């Protein structure tokens, strides 16, 4: 079972007790699922098709409970291209126009007499706004497993419907992005927090918890990785600085002769040349008398300054 089908399964089992929400969901299921076909002269064929039997059963129950319509459910077996069984609910022709009318979708001014997006009254209440998005997700939604990517989308069949879905999410301060893919108008979320909010808004709380678990694990391991990368780049920096200093010491020796350096600097140069990668504090302990970290660092800087002066021909201050 994929994460997406877990989410769909959880959403399909959400109870609906209010007529307003049933109306909003059925509207979204018909419009987003592309299940409204015009038969001419005010006649329509209505169907709701989904990959999960639970989704189709959900709308079967809503039609029966809130509209007194007994629909037909059939199984569509997969073809050679797509070997996946799908489930389809069909509304009898005699009930179709009445149902569209009850959903507020009939409109003489629209193409084929059906509104491409529902009237605002369909989502008048906050509960109906999320119901609309829930059904839209059940019909044409997808979500990636958080292990792989943060991505949740609803691929609407029309641009106006995609705008409508995005507007419902925006009501809940979930800001979706938009893109087009093939003939679909995709509303999508890429941020973990927004996806988590959307899952809990639609009622998929177990999926949201599973999502959050993976997200927290990922963030902890990212932080550990970042820390490790940071530590190893610090080590690289230390090695490079030490290498540069060894070059400086050899350069001073060749140009000036280490024996010309004042004793403290000469001792420092020998100690460093013999222990190229030793940490500063330990290096200080090699000296007689021992020297603290900041003292060591000051003497090493002095050696670098001398090498720089030798290279540029400046006066050398020993
Ligand atoms: Zn409602």
Q: How far is the CA of 48 from the centre of ligand 1 (A)?
A: 21
Flag whether 210 is in a domain: no
Looking at the structure, do residues 193 and 247 belong to the same domain, yes or no?
Answer: no
Residue entry with tokens 């504090």:
281
Q: How far is the CA of 116 from the centre of ligand 1 (A)?
A: 21
Flag whether 219 is in a domain: no
Residues less than 5 Å from ion ligand 1, measured at CB? 18, 20-21, 125, 127-128
Q: How far is the CA of 33 from the centre of ligand 1 (A)?
A: 20
Per the structure, the count of domains in the chain is 2
Count Cβ neighbours within 10 Å for each residue of 4-14 and write b for 16 or more, e otherwise. Answer: bebbbbbbbeb
Q: How far is the CA of 104 from the centre of ligand 1 (A)?
A: 15
Looking at the structure, do residues 176 and 40 belong to the same domain, yes or no?
Answer: yes
Looking at the structure, do residues 163 and 244 belong to the same domain, yes or no?
Answer: no
**Cα 95 to Cα 68: distance, rounded to the nearest angstrom:** 10
Show which of 185, 203, 221 is a domain's final residue: 203
Looking at the structure, do residues 192 and 263 belong to the same domain, yes or no?
Answer: no
Residue 31, pLDDT score: 95
Predicted confidence band of residue 80 (pLDDT cuts 50, 70, 90):
low
pLDDT of 174-202, one tens digit each?
999 999 998 999 999 999 999 999 999 99
pLDDT greater at residue 146 or residue 238: 146
Show which of 203, 219, 253 is a domain's final residue: 203
Q: How far is the CA of 63 from the centre of ligand 1 (A)?
A: 16
pTM metric for this prediction: 0.71
pLDDT of 245-256, one tens digit each?
888 898 888 888
Show which of 203, 221, 251 is a domain's final residue: 203
Residue 36, pLDDT score: 92
Q: How far is the CA of 128 from the centre of ligand 1 (A)?
A: 4
Q: How far is the CA of 17 from the centre of ligand 1 (A)?
A: 9
Q: How far is the CA of 16 from the centre of ligand 1 (A)?
A: 9
Looking at the structure, do residues 284 and 239 belong to the same domain, yes or no?
Answer: yes
Which structural domain range is residue 25 located in?
3-203
HSE, CB side, 13 Å, CA atoms: give it for residue 266. 9
Kindly report whether the peptide bond that precedes residue 289 is cis, defined as omega within 30 degrees of 0.
yes
Flag whether 87 is in a domain: yes
Looking at the structure, do residues 8 and 92 belong to the same domain, yes or no?
Answer: yes
Flag whether 143 is in a domain: yes
Q: Which of 134, 114, 131 is nearest to 123 (CA)?
A: 131
Looking at the structure, do residues 190 and 55 belong to the same domain, yes or no?
Answer: yes
Sign of the four-CA dihedral 161, 18, 69, 103 = negative
133's tokens: 């998005």
Looking at the structure, do residues 198 and 241 belong to the same domain, yes or no?
Answer: no
* Residue percentage of the chain with pLDDT more than 90: 58
Looking at the structure, do residues 183 and 308 belong to the same domain, yes or no?
Answer: no
Q: How far is the CA of 11 from the centre of ligand 1 (A)?
A: 16
**Lowest mean pLDDT across 21-25, 57-61, 124-128, 266-270:** 266-270
pLDDT of 201-236, one tens digit each?
999 999 999 999 999 998 888 888 888 887 777 777
Answer yes or no: are the C-beta atoms of 151 and 143 closer than 8 Å: yes
Q: How far is the CA of 31 from the centre of ligand 1 (A)?
A: 18
């Amino acid at each position: 079972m994929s994460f997406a089908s877990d989410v769909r399964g959880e959403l399909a089992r959400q109870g609906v007790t209010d007529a307003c929400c049933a109306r909003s969901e059925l509207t979204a299921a018909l419009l987003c699922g592309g299940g409204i076909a015009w038969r001419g002269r005010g006649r329509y064929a209505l169907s709701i098709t989904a990959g999960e039997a639970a989704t189709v059963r959900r709308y079967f129950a809503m039609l029966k409970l809130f509209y007194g319509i007994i629909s037909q459910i059939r199984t569509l077996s997969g073809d050679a291209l797509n070997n996946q069984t799908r489930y389809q609910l069909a509304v009898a022709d005699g009930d179709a126009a009445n149902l569209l009318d009850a959903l507020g979708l009939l409109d003489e001014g629209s193409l084929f007499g059906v509104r491409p997006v529902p009237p605002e009254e369909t989502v008048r209440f906050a509960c109906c706004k999320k119901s609309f998005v829930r059904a839209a997700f059940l019909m044409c939604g997808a979500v990636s497993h958080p292990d792989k990517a943060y991505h949740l989308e609803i691929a609407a069949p029309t641009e106006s419907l995609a705008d409508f879905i995005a507007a419902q999410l925006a009501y809940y301060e979930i800001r979706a992005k938009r893109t087009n893919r093939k003939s679909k108008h995709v509303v999508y979320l890429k941020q973990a927090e927004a996806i988590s909010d959307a899952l809990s808004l639609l009622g998929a709380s177990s999926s949201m918890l599973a999502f959050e678990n993976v997200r927290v694990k990922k963030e902890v391991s990212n932080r550990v990785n970042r820390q490790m990368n940071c530590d190893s780049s610090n080590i690289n920096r230390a090695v490079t600085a030490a290498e540069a200093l060894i070059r400086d010491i050899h350069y001073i020796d060749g140009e000036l002769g280490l024996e010309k350096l004042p004793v403290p600097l000469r001792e420092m140069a020998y100690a460093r040349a013999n222990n190229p990668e030793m940490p500063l504090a330990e290096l200080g302990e090699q000296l007689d008398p021992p020297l603290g970290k900041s003292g060591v660092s000051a003497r090493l800087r002095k050696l670098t300054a001398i090498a720089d002066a030798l290279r540029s021909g400046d006066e050398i201050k020993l």
